[in-house]
Amino acid sequence: MSSFVIEAAGLTKSFGSAHALAGVDLQVRTGESLAIMGASGSGKTTLLHCLAGITRPDSGTVGFRSGIGLVPVTELGERERSRLRREAFGFVFQQGLLIPELTAVENVALALMLNGMPRATAEQHARGWLAALGLAGLEERRIGQLSGGQAQRVAIARAQVTGATVVFADEPTGALDSQTSADVMGALLHSTTGQGRTLVVVTHDPDVAARCSRVVVMRDGRIVGERQGARSVHPAAAARVEAQAAAAAAGSAGAAGTPEGPRA
Amino acid sequence: MIARVAWLLARPGSAGAAASVLPVVAFGVVTALLLTVAGGAQTFFTWTDDTSMLYQSLAVIALVLLVVPLVSLGGAAARLSARRRDDRLATLRLLGATPGVVRALAVIEAAAFALAGAVLGVLAYLVAVPLIGLIPFRGEPLGAAGVLLPWWVLVAAPIAVAALAAMSAVLGLRQVVISPLGVRTRQEAPRLHWIRVVAGVGVVAFAYALMSVIGVAQVALVLITMLAVAFGGTLAVLNLIGPWVIRLIASAQVRRAKTPARLLAARSVLESPKAAWRQVGGVAMTSFMAVFAGVGVGLLGAAAADGGNGDPESAMLLADVRTGILITVVGSFLMVACSVGVGQAAAILDRADLYRSLDMLGMPVATMEAARRRAVMSPLRVTAVGSAVIAAIVMLPLTGITLIVAPLSLAVIAGVLAAGIGIVWLGLVVTRPVLDRAAAG
């Protein structure tokens, strides 16, 4: 049995004349934490959206290995992809993007209610997740009454409460200060890979990437570098990868198209 | 400078055609309705017999009912303009444009939409004149020639509507912050209800002046003014208790909600019961009045027919009042539908990021749509049915008798209320493309 939970091959995607993805192959391993790094416009968010079935690539395939076999994500219709995202995936966005008029517990429970769970049961599960993420006592607060870090923990609880196999996070710490960012990243890792689940995170923050088990670096719609076991790598190394990527993106000829960084 | 930038901004934006078509259509409908009622009223003011004053008072009431939503529609259209130009207005601020310049742009756009809509409204009115002429009053059709307004009114109407829209746009924009980082709704929106009072007083003063010019008797003037004031008073009372009742019902619905759509809808109403009321409050007065007058008319009509000695003139009067009620109720629901359509388009654009993220999470667009519809329809039902029931209770003994002796007249009113609710529902449905676009990102 394959140890890959998501396999993508030959992904291309253009927006007008801009090539966001120019042929990407990527396997996401079950239980790993994968960081996708790269400068702005390198295509990392588009890649995340294709892997998660939000965006359909122009060409190429994405397969998701679920309990019942391989799901051809790129061949599913809009409605089926929506259902897949709802039931098998979890999402954490930079701004949280929680529903402001709902309370914390309602925001989390909503994910379960969308799958048909009765409200009382859903809220019970939601409370459990909020407590596990250190938010006990804040369940009835509305989102505006929470700090940025607390709101992001609510978003993590929402992404995890359905038992999502894979959690996709797009700059989950982008709007937080460094200490809160470290706490939130810890909570995110603990609730995903800590439970045998898979985390795919798009980030430009070397500190965030440094805590993941594998890092791929993107430039101009291609994966130009990859390294594994980054957790054992000094943060400075991760910073160097980012700096190189940025320099390459800025136009300096050199390491174009060649893998960078240490391989485990 | 402002004119040149306004022209640049007039190019299509990312919000789609619906966001620009909606305000134009809304202003068109409002203008056509206003002209229709004014045309009918014009006929009434040519009459000089005993009952003419009653007709004239009723026409003034109908005009008041229609001008109030027009004012709030202007504000909603300006907020929509600001939102759908979100990125461009914010960029202008970033480039150093003063808040005043940016606001002026939004106001100009709202006024331009209003003007375009009003011109279309005039055309629609002209097309409808033969039909309006068929409406029977005093046992015979009004006649196309009777309801056709003088040419200068048709020229002045679009200008007046655009001016009103610009004025209410200035006020409506006070709820919006246009910062270099984006357009958003002010957290503590300034209360705007006093505008209604100003508008009401303005309309009364205008009507007073108009009638003085035409030369209506002094006694009639006083009576009509008192009627309008009493009318406004009831409106003010309804404005006080309406939001309170809506809050009460929404908080019960939050506790009972079992599906995501119901929970979202109840929470969004509870977030701002006043905003929910502003959207549908116009219906309260209409449905209150419809039942109140409908019961009276039905009863009197039945009594007259029963006695067999009802003189044809009063029978005709009762029939006319019934016609007037139906027209006013339908018109008022049309107005609410227009402002709901424009308001909803603005609300969707305001929350586009959130809708986009909910789509990513796998929430079906149908669920978002259901929540959004329920958030408008639930307060609307409460308002329309609630006001009708209150009116029925106030006149309880009479309502009971009418129910027995003239069930048909009550059934007609109930049917018109139901149809009105359906019209507002349509106003919601047409904003669905805006949601689809927002969710797709």
CA-based nearest residue to A163, from A228, A93, A88: A88
Phi, psi angles (nearest 5°) of residue A238: -60, -40
Q: Residue B354: list chain A partners with CB under 8 A.
A: 97, 99-100
- Chain A: which residues have CB within 8 Å of chain B? 49, 52, 54, 79, 82-87, 89, 91, 93, 95, 97, 99-102, 106, 110-111, 113-114, 118-119, 158
Nearest-by-CA chain A residue for B268: A101
Residue B122 burial (C-beta neighbours within 10 Å; 0-12, 13-18, 19+): buried
Q: Which of A138-152, A237-251, B345-359 has the lowest mean pLDDT?
A: A237-251
CA atoms within 13 A on the CB side of B102: 27
Average pLDDT, chain A: 81
pLDDT at A243: 55
Tokens of A259: 């893998």
Q: How far is B237 from chain A (nearest CA, A)?
A: 28
CA-based nearest residue to A22, from A72, A60, A76: A60
Nearest-by-CA chain A residue for B368: A114
Q: Which residues partner with A70 through β-bridges?
A: A65
- Maximum Cα–Cα distance for chain A, whole Å? 59
| Cα A144 to Cα A22: distance, rounded to the nearest angstrom | 40
pLDDT higher at B175 or A67: A67
pLDDT at A139 over 70: yes
Q: Residue A113: list chain B partners with CB under 8 A.
A: 259-260, 263
Q: Residue A100: list chain B partners with CB under 8 A.
A: 271, 354
Q: How far is A185 from chain B (nearest CA, A)?
A: 20
Convert the pLDDT of each residue in A204-234 to its tens digit.
Answer: 888 888 889 899 999 888 888 888 764 544 4
CA distances (Å), origin A172, targets A155, A180, A224, A247: 9, 11, 23, 24
pLDDT at A97 over 60: yes
CA distances (Å), origin A207, targets A96, A235, B265: 20, 6, 40
Beta-strand pair A166-170/A89-92: parallel
pLDDT at A105 over 80: yes
Confidence of residue A104 (pLDDT cuts 50, 70, 90): very high
The pLDDT of A21-45, averaged and rounded, is 88
Identity of the residue numbered A41: G
Contact B32, B129 (CB under 8 A): no
- Provide the CA B351 distance to its chain's centre, in angstroms: 24
pLDDT at A146 over 90: no
CA-based nearest residue to B69, from B157, B246, B200, B245: B200
Nearest-by-CA chain B residue for A155: B361
Q: Residue A97: list chain B partners with CB under 8 A.
A: 353-354, 357-358
Q: Residue B257: list chain A partners with CB under 8 A.
A: 119
8 Å CB contact of A89 and B362? yes
Residue B150 DSSP label: P
Contact A260, A244 (CB under 8 A): yes
Convert the pLDDT of each residue in A158-192 to its tens digit.
Answer: 988 888 889 999 888 877 888 888 888 888 888 88
Confidence of residue A127 (pLDDT cuts 50, 70, 90): very high
Left, alpha or beta for A227 (phi > 0: left; psi -120 to 50: alpha)?
beta
Pinpoint the alpha helices (H) of B10-148. Answer: 18-44, 52-84, 86-94, 99-132, 144-147
Residues 6+ positions from B197 with CB-CB distance below 8 Å: B232, B236
| Cα B37 to Cα B31: distance, rounded to the nearest angstrom | 10
pLDDT at B227: 58
Nearest-by-CA chain B residue for A167: B361
pLDDT higher at A254 or A95: A95
Q: Is B137 helix (H, G, I), strand (E, B) or coil?
A: strand
8 Å CB contact of A102 and B267? yes
Q: Give the pLDDT means over successive 10-residue stretches in chain B (441 positions).
A: 61 58 80 81 75 74 67 66 64 73 78 88 87 76 77 86 78 62 48 53 61 56 61 66 85 90 89 79 71 69 60 70 75 77 79 85 89 89 79 68 71 78 84 84 71
Q: Residue A84: list chain B partners with CB under 8 A.
A: 362
Identity of the residue numbered B97: A
| Cα B131 to Cα B142: distance, rounded to the nearest angstrom | 10
Confidence of residue A251 (pLDDT cuts 50, 70, 90): very low
Tokens of A113: 């209610």
Q: Residue B267: list chain A partners with CB under 8 A.
A: 99, 101-102, 106
Q: Residue A114: list chain B partners with CB under 8 A.
A: 260, 362-364, 367
pLDDT at A42 over 70: yes
Q: Using CB atoms, pick whichever of B357, B362, B363 lies closest to residue A93.
A: B357
CA-based nearest residue to A74, from A34, A112, A3, A24: A24
Residues 6+ positions from B346 with CB-CB distance below 8 Å: B76, B79, B80, B83, B84
pLDDT at A120: 92
Q: How far is B275 from chain A (nearest CA, A)?
A: 14
8 Å CB contact of B258 and A119? yes
Residues 6+ positions from B151 with CB-CB distance below 8 Å: none
Q: How far apart are the first and last CA of chain B?
A: 32
pLDDT at A40 over 80: yes
Q: Is B133 helix (H, G, I), strand (E, B) or coil?
A: coil
pLDDT at A133 over 90: no
